[in-house]
Amino acid sequence: MPYKMLLEANNRFDEAIAEINHLQKIDPLNIRFRHLALGWLNLYAHRHDESISQCKKVLELDPNSVQPYVMLGWNYAFKGMHAEAIAASDKAISLSDATNKVLLGQIAYIYGVSGNQPQARKLLRRLIELSKQGYVDHYYIAMAYAGLGEKDLAFEYLARAYEERSPSMIGLKIDPFLDNLRSDSRYTELLRKVGLEK
């Protein structure tokens, strides 16, 4: 696992940013990577305006890049800018593969928290259908249910993600998409089981 991810997963965002800046000195031409990495970090740190700024810098370099639109959707959703969140999500979907399992879960979350439950459920159904045909990380199904406010189902799928040793569980401590689950004792227990809490 890259050191940056380890720092990020442990809520050490400023150190992770320093690590990205160090990597940029080693590979100064990889500007797109730096903006994307800083976009993700600032999103997880709840620094939404800075994350939005980084996303826009990526789009200046590559207007058809899917990830910045997904990140913009999240940032706008967290800021309560629901129309902008849905517009960015629609753009991400138009640029991506309709079977992208990670993207389906992420955007279902955005639609859910933005109040477009029919679209959120449509994407969630597609994700569950895909899980019957091949591997789908249950973490992303849990994320979609969290966006819909269905906590019991979110925890059911997080438990499955834990059992399958999902690599996505590394973000459990900092993942803003699960913020509405944190006050539940099941969340604390899951953090302990994963080894992110004593």
Owner of token pair 């800083």:
38
Structure tokens given for 125: 């159904």
Residue 154 pLDDT more than 90?
yes
Q: Is residue 61 within 8 Å of residue 31, measured between CB atoms?
A: yes
Q: Please state, in angstroms and as integers, the Cα–Cα distance from residue 112 to each residue in 33, 59, 73, 99, 109, following that order.
A: 29, 25, 12, 19, 5
Largest CA distance in the chain: 46
Highest-confidence segment of 23-37, 106-120, 144-158: 144-158
More confident residue, 194 or 13: 194
More confident residue, 35 or 113: 113
Banded pLDDT at 8 (limits 50, 70, 90): very low
From the candidate CATH numbers 2.160.10.10, 1.10.3720.10, 1.25.40.10, 3.10.105.10, the one assigned to the domain spanning 1-94 = 1.25.40.10
From the candidate CATH numbers 1.20.120, 3.30.300, 1.25.40, 1.10.357, the one assigned to the domain spanning 97-198 = 1.25.40
Residue 5 pLDDT more than 60?
no
What residue spans define the domains of the chain?
Answer: 1-94, 97-198
Residue 84 pLDDT more than 90?
yes
Banded pLDDT at 4 (limits 50, 70, 90): very low
Distance from first CA to last CA of the chain, Å, rounded? 22
Residue 79 pLDDT more than 60?
yes
Q: pTM higher than 0.85, yes or no?
A: no
**In the 8-state DSSP scheme, what is residue 149?**
T
